[in-house]
Structure 1
Amino acid sequence: MENLYKSIYHIFGAIYVPKDLRHSNALVHISDTPSFIYKAIIKMIKKIKPRVIIHTGDIVDDIKLEIRPQLIEVYKKEANKFINEISKYAELIILVPGNHDDFTKLRLKDNVKILNEGDVFIFDGIKLGLSHKYENLPLNCDFYLYGHDKNCLKDYYLNGIKYINVIKDKKIFKLCYPIGTDNYRLKISRMGK
């Protein structure tokens, strides 16, 4: 029955959260989030009520700021609105800059921290390597959180584009993004470039 719920939520642009993860004090890892799915992510975060949210870059992934810097005001508006909203539901938000981010334009609340690619964060005794790009991950960690592309080598490399990764009680849960998320990300390969 749970697979049916997952499919229905996915098709209708929502994110299914299993009962085990609701009000769970977990860590949620997301990456490369287009503004079109913010509503679904916010609803998911409200259900999980995580202690920590880690975003590994490209907060407004449909803007592609590196390619279209003239959209900086739209980026600023969307990113601020999203980060400020999710910061209401977690003790700590960690942002790792992506190639389409400009964090100097954001107004961040006190519970939002910026870490760099290659930094390490400890959560419940688990050493997490953080980066936007796979090749900039640090060494000797228990798990690696990143985004940018869909490369995924081993189970302990958690790609935030492929899945929303939730860490609870030292276990990994992978939630599906809403249907069409990759289209909203405006993948360059899909644009014929």
Structure 2
Amino acid sequence: MGRNTWLPLYRRLVLGLSLPVDAEALRGKVALHFSDTPSTFYGVMRRLIRFFEPQCIVHTGDLADDVKLEIRPGELPLYRRKLMELTSVLSSVQKSRIVLVTGNHDHEESVREFFPDSSVIIKSGRIEMCGLDFNLSHEPEGLQTPYGHFNLFGHAPVPEEAPSQGQVFLNGLYAIHVLRVDTGEVLALEYPGYVNDARLNKRRVGL
């Protein structure tokens, strides 16, 4: 069996999702974008981070999406335990190179407590990181105008707009985005099926 045949299977078994055969060439050259991540996905997040060795990470909210604080505020202790787990997941990335946008199920004070040296953006904002200009929001309608070059969001299953006039819109609910920092190219990786299943459940209890 040739390398190009077994390598995708190996990566699916080891990393938890499929990657292009040439993905290794992106190592150390990218920013990673996540959004709306249940803690059941943290293991794959950790392996992706180890694989790509990203220069920075952007998360557009609902950091522990299996804990619905907006619906069940009494689950704050559980949420905080999940955040502690997430700090370990992100530990290989320089803390100042991590950007976290708070979502509707996040607790601002806890996020700031667990990530004191990272950039925490409340709901929406702009930031330059890894040489890229990001316009960030948890909810798509919260993106600031005029739009930026990279407009990243999550929360709702709305279509990504086609790039126009140098503007790129990326919905982290649909895919993990691997952004090459030197060229601006974007690789979209499909979430594992169990993440989508969790999000279908989320629709029943509230976004």
* 1:5 alignment partner in structure 2: 8
5+ long unaligned stretches in structure 2 = 163-167
How far off its partner does 1:125 sit? 4.4
SS at match of 1:158: strand
TM-score for the superposition, normalised by structure 2: 0.80
* 1:117 alignment partner in structure 2: 123
* 2:57 alignment partner in structure 1: 53
Residue number among 97, 100, 103 corresponding to 1:95 in the alignment: 100
Residue number among 139, 145, 158 corresponding to 1:151 in the alignment: 158
Q: Which has the higher contact order (CA 8 A, sep 6+)?
A: 1
* 1:178 alignment partner in structure 2: 192
How far off its partner does 1:166 sit? 1.2
Residue number among 13, 16, 34 corresponding to 1:14 in the alignment: 16
Deviations 1:150-180, CA, capped at 9 Å, x for gaps: 2123142101110111111211111121221
Count, aligned residues = 191
Residue number among 164, 167, 174 corresponding to 2:176 in the alignment: 164
Q: Quick one: percent identity of the two aligned structures?
A: 30
SS at match of 1:59: coil
Residue number among 136, 139, 143 corresponding to 1:137 in the alignment: 143
TM-score for the superposition, normalised by structure 1: 0.85
Give the whole-Å Cα distance in 1 for the aligned partners of 2:25 and 2:84. Answer: 30
Deviations 1:36-64, CA, capped at 9 Å, x for gaps: 11001111001111111111000110111
Deviations 1:60-89, CA, capped at 9 Å, x for gaps: 101111111121111100112213431323
Give the whole-Å Cα distance in 2 for the aligned partners of 1:99 and 1:124. Answer: 26
SS at match of 1:74: helix
Distance 1:3 1:93, change over 3 A: farther
Contact 1:27/1:50 (<8 A) preserved: yes
Give the root-mean-square deviation of aligned CA atoms.
2.8
Residue number among 29, 32, 35 corresponding to 2:36 in the alignment: 32
**One-letter amino acid of the structure 1 residue matched with residue 93 of structure 2:** Y
Say which is worse superposed, 78-87 or 66-75, in terms of deviation.
Answer: 78-87
| Greater per-residue helix proportion | 2
Say which is worse superposed, 33-42 or 147-156, in terms of deviation.
Answer: 147-156
Deviations 1:14-46, CA, capped at 9 Å, x for gaps: 133421222x23111100000111001111001
Contact 2:9/2:18 (<8 A) preserved: yes
How far off its partner does 1:94 sit? 0.7
**One-letter amino acid of the structure 1 residue matched with residue 105 of structure 2:** H
Give the whole-Å Cα distance in 1 for the aligned partners of 2:205 and 2:143. Answer: 28
